[in-house]
Amino acid sequence: MAERVFIRKNDKPWRQGWELTDDERDVFRQRSRQSNAAKVAAVRGHGPEPVHDINVPSLDPDDLMAQLPTNGVRSLSLFSGCGGLDHGYERAGYEHVASYDHYAPAGETMRAIRPSWEVYSGEAGDVTKVNWRPYRGRVDVVHGGPPCQPFSMAGRQLGKNDTRDMFPEFVRAVLEIKPQAFMAENVAALGSDKFSAYVKNTIIKPLSAEYQVVRFQLTAASFGVPQRRQRLFFVGFRSKRAAMRFKAPAVTHSFAHLEPRRAAMLSFHDLEAPLERCMGAREALGLPDIGFDALAPTLRSSLTGPRHTTSVVSSVTAHKLWTQLGIWPNGVAPTREAARQFVAANGDFRLSVPDCAILQGFPESWPVLGSVYVALGQIGNAVPPPLAYHIAKQIAATL
Ligand SMILES: C[S@@+](CC[C@H](N)C(=O)[O-])C[C@H]1O[C@@H](n2cnc3c(N)ncnc32)[C@H](O)[C@@H]1O
């Protein structure tokens, strides 16, 4: 058997590279060359005849979050990425104070969408360099999703030993600004036993001297987002009474018709209204009925893991589900027109960046900029705006 080698060496412990034999590496290279050649041919109009119409999505994620009137509550966004949280808070009626993210392309997306917003990116957006005290008295809610890679399987779960761990910086910002409330978000894995000491010592302990902290998990599909995605939220209030009044958002949608077993595991108490039906991925994207639909598998962020990619496949199981859905999740195209033109080898419907954005809960009016892997990185890292919206509503109601 041929010797196993790493294809890429570097000093980042979370980037281990793929372990491949020379033969396996050749197969991947050949596939990649063939795929690139097919893409070039498609762009020049020399590929196979398109087999799908350009899709017209049925889901407008803004319909999942009716614009609320201004509520006068001022919010500051840390680790804002392409603005999943920012958009949800905006729809819930908050007044935007500023956004910070050190990833320059994310800043470009935000500035293009909201030219009047104060957006700090690149070096100016690096939260480790900011003195937050000048924001004291100017901000009511600080929200942010520190990078999830230190806690996610794809990021190798190094926790506080991962230099990308930014929770201490989030805590520092909250303690310097002293807003009435804060909200932090991360992958559900942060709530597992593996990280219970981390959560206690790094998040709860330093904040609990001044804040009452509540934590809960939400499932994106319970709020109408057609994707398998669970997130963990920490919400804190300076006032004990406010913390006691706060209620995590009640679910608005059911996905039992798509995933009965998974849906049955969630118990729905205190429902105020009958649930709406969450669309499946095919229905949301406006694809023809093939007698099967499901929530899209969790979209992988192309910036997470060992290499940058234009695939959104997050696991082998995910790949199988994409196949059942008749959707090709690799070589995501920049636009719907380009996706139609670049026919997938198996004839499945090829995803485009705007389609991935819809599956993540972003409306077409919030276009994410950058080359395909850069845009997919921002989308896959984002909090689905409808989740942010419902929490923001509950926080505002509490305050
Ligand atoms: C999980 S994403 C947040 C996504 C965002 N909350 C949303 O909903 O779209 C984490 C973000 O943290 C940013 N980040 C990581 N380290 C940072 C730092 N030192 N300063 C500012 N931003 C940072 C990354 O660029 C990334 O966009």
Q: Residue with the nearest Cα to atom 20 of ligand 1?
A: 126
Alpha-carbon distance of 321 to 315, in angstroms, equals 10
Measured in Å, residue 151 CA sits from the centre of ligand 1 at 14
The answer, yes or no, to whether residue 278 has pLDDT greater than 90, is yes
Distance (angstroms) between ligand 1 centre and the Cα of 147 equals: 6
pLDDT in tens, 187-201: 888 888 888 999 999
The residues that bridge with 253 in the sheet, in sequence order, are 276
Is residue 347 included in any domain, yes or no? no
Q: Answer whether residue 363 is part of any domain.
A: no
pLDDT, residue 245, reads 95
Nearest CA owner, ligand 1 atom 11: 79
Q: Is residue 121 part of a domain?
A: yes
Mean of per-residue pLDDT scores for the chain? 88
283 lines ligand 1 (CB under 6 A): no
- Asked whether residue 105 is domain-assigned, the answer is yes
**Does residue 148 have an active-site annotation?**
yes
Residue-wise pLDDT tens digits, 84-125:
999 999 999 999 999 999 999 999 999 999 999 999 999 999
Instruction: Give the side-chain half-sphere CA count within 13 A for 225.
Output: 33
Nearest C-alpha neighbor of 215 from the set 189, 193, 248: 248
Nearest to residue 147, comparing CAs of 139, 157, 136?
157
Give the pLDDT confidence score for residue 226 in this predicted structure. Answer: 98
Residue 386 lies in a domain: yes
Pairing of strands 327-333, 276-277: unpaired
Centre of ligand 1 to C-alpha 316, Å, is 27
Q: What's the number of domains the chain is made of?
A: 1
Question: Taking the CB of residue 62, how many other CB atoms lie within 10 A of it?
Answer: 19
For the stretch 53-77, pLDDT in tens is: 899 999 999 999 999 999 999 999 9
What percent of the chain has a predicted confidence (pLDDT) above 70?
Answer: 86
Q: What is the pLDDT of residue 152?
A: 66
Amino acid identity of residue 320, one-letter, is K
CA-based Rg of the chain, rounded to a whole angstrom?
21
Within-domain flag for 151: yes
Pairing of strands 74-78, 141-144: parallel
Tokens 């949800």 locate to 88
Tokens of 80: 């804002």
136 exposed, middle or buried (CB, 10 Å; 0-12, 13-18, 19+)? exposed
pLDDT at 17 over 60: no
Average pLDDT for 133-151 = 91
The per-residue pLDDT for range 308-349, each reduced to its tens digit, is 778 898 889 999 999 999 999 999 999 999 999 999 989 999
The whole-number pLDDT of residue 265 equals 74
Domain limits for position 187:
61-273+382-398
Contact 170, 146 (CB under 8 A): yes
In this structure, what CATH number is given to the domain that contains residue 260? Answer: 3.40.50.150
The rounded distance, in Å, linking the Cα atoms of 155 and 103 is 18
Residue 132 has pLDDT above 90, yes or no: yes
Residue 126 Cβ contacting ligand 1 at under 6 Å: yes
Q: Quick one: pLDDT at residue 213?
A: 96
Euclidean distance between CA atoms 331 and 317, whole angstroms: 18
Distance spanning both ends of the chain, measured CA to CA: 65
Amino acid present at 386: P
Query: Residue 78 in contact with residue 127, Cβ under 8 Å?
Result: yes
Give a yes or no: residue 289 inside a domain.
no
Distance between CA atoms of residues 109 and 48, nearest Å: 34
Alpha-carbon distance of 41 to 50, in angstroms, equals 13
Residue 316 counted as domain residue: no
125 CB less than 6 Å from ligand 1?
yes
Atom number in ligand 1 closest to CA 185: 6
- Given a cut of 70, whether residue 3 has pLDDT beyond it is no
Q: Is residue 119 within 6 Å of ligand 1 at its C-beta?
A: no
